[in-house]
Amino acid sequence: DAPSQTLAEAAPFPIGFAVSPASIKSNAPYRQTVIQEATSITADVAMKPSRISPQKGIYNVDVADQLIEFARSQKKRVHGHTLVWYIDTSPNWLKQIRDSTDLESTLQTYIQTVGTHFKGKVASWDVVNEAVDNNRGAIRKDSLNTVGKTLFNVGKILGDDYVARMFQYAHKADPNARLFYNDYGQETRPAKLSAIVNMANDFKRRGIPIHGLGLQMHISIDTPNEGIENAIRKSAETGLLIHISELDIAMNPGKKKDFAETPELLEKQYQKYKFVVSTYKKIVPASQQFGITLWGVDDGTSWIPGFCQCLDAALPFDANFGKKRAYQGFLDGL
């Protein structure tokens, strides 16, 4: 057999994986897969605020720095994820702040400190993650997040335009970093998609430093192709960089207890990977292709089973780092 190309070799744009620094260190096939297949890496949790600043005024950057050193030694790009998030990865001390002046200056200080520390080491940041409501097509004012009995929501405390200000703070901290707004569900939620696109266009008009949109794309084999294509097209029409930032394709969207992989499911997964990748390649102009990042390396360490509380296998590599039909689907889409 002719040696087959890796994703990194075959792709005309960066290929990323979300990785855990601990697995990079201790899991040799995991590390090897990242080294061979990726050109970009995102930390799955190591650069989130709860990890970087578990206590007010304390900054733990060692784990992230080690990951960045690994990336540097392997000549991989690093995408920072994430500076501000309304929900679970904000540290508890931050979620207790209710005063708007206090919260604004706390987030400003956090972004300034973290952005400056990683300046020149990360190519880009997800500045704000998941700020737009799923159904209303507006900045989130609800909250899924409680500390004790109190609700925490950045949008409610700071007002809709906080997203723009976070971009300004991030740009001040690291003027060369490409700054992204990142969110999920654009492929099945039209109101959310338009709200994001409108916000991006509004930022551009006002000179707010936004450079890209991240579409997480945690989808399933049943997610309609039209919705995927529409989300990519409308996002690309902003003229911004487009990052498929957290791709995985679940095979058990019904969270069935008796789930078993079948050739039919694996074939549907093949088709969906191929569709996403080929659509991205076709629709997004080359100058706007920031790349496609898979959310995890292999089915054995994927976040999906923990999240859905079910069995699933949403990635192109199986738990033994074997290439699935989904891997071939990714390649065939390129």
By the criterion CB under 6 A, which residues form the site for ligand XIL? 44-45, 129, 216, 246, 303
Distance from C-alpha of 130 to C-alpha of 254, rounded to nearest angstrom? 24
For the CB of residue 5, give the shortest distance to ligand XIL in the complex, in Å.
Answer: 28
- Crossing angle for the helix pair 162-173 and 190-206, to the nearest 10 degrees: 50
For the CB of residue 24, give the shortest distance to ligand XIL in the complex, in Å.
Answer: 14
For ligand XIL, the closer of residues 275 and 303 by Cβ is 303
Phi, psi dihedral angles at 147 (to 5 degrees): -120, 115
Query: What is the 8-class DSSP label of residue 62?
Result: H
Contact predicate 80/126, CB 8 Å: yes
For the CB of residue 217, give the shortest distance to ligand XIL in the complex, in Å.
Answer: 10
DSSP class per residue in 263-317? HHHHHHHHHHHHHHHHHHHHHS-GGGEEEEEESSS-TTT-SHHHHHTS----SSB
Distance from C-alpha of 7 to C-alpha of 26, rounded to nearest angstrom? 23
Query: What is the 8-class DSSP label of residue 46?
Result: T
Name the token pair of 4. Answer: 């087959």
For ligand XIL, the closer of residues 44 and 298 by Cβ is 44
For ligand XIL, the closer of residues 216 and 220 by Cβ is 216
For the CB of residue 102, give the shortest distance to ligand XIL in the complex, in Å.
Answer: 25
230: closest CA among 203, 201, 184, 194?
194
For ligand XIL, the closer of residues 20 and 289 by Cβ is 20
* Residues designated catalytic: 246
Residue with the shortest CB distance to ligand XIL = 303
DSSP, collapsed to helix, strand or coil, labels residue 200 as helix
For the CB of residue 266, give the shortest distance to ligand XIL in the complex, in Å.
Answer: 23
